[in-house]
Homo-oligomer: A and B are copies of this chain.
Amino acid sequence: MELLKIYECLCDRTRLRLLNLLSHGPLCVCHFQEILGEPQVKISKHLAYLRARGLVDVERQGSWMIYELPFKPSRELRANLACLQDCAAEEAVFRRDLARLRKVDLACAPVAAVRRTGARGRCC
């Protein structure tokens, strides 16, 4: 994966927040909405942007779309995501997002479980 493409994905605040969250596991769109507090279109378009460039994968689960980091990320991507995670720990926005992530994970069935069991219901 070309290095420049990675940085192009990282140079937007919303996308940084999305990737920061995804570093902790797969998530569906409504979770992102809930956590970021941003309109659905915005989230959806940035996820499409990331997807088009191979930074995230998607899998449909019923009517939910579950996004996650690639299973086998390239060396460059891995290095940069590690770097991001390291640096994000120092900035309030990202820490707040992670705090909200924990709450959501308690409220909703974690995506991983949904996948395994196929359990559904309303999301957020």
Q: Which residues of A contact B (CB under 8 A)?
A: 2-4, 7-8, 10-13, 16, 75-76, 79-80, 83-84, 86-88, 90-91
**Do residues B90 and A75 form an inter-chain contact, with CB atoms below 8 A?**
yes
**Do residues A76 and B80 form an inter-chain contact, with CB atoms below 8 A?**
no
**Do residues B3 and A7 form an inter-chain contact, with CB atoms below 8 A?**
no
**Do residues A87 and B91 form an inter-chain contact, with CB atoms below 8 A?**
no
Q: How far is the CA of A10 from the CA of B16 in the complex (A)?
A: 14
Q: Distance (Å) between the CB of A85 and the closest chain B CB?
A: 11
Q: How far is the CA of A88 from the CA of B79 in the complex (A)?
A: 12
What residues of chain B lie closer than 8 Å to A7, measured between beta carbons?
7, 10-11, 16
Q: Distance (Å) between the CB of A21 and the closest chain B CB?
A: 15
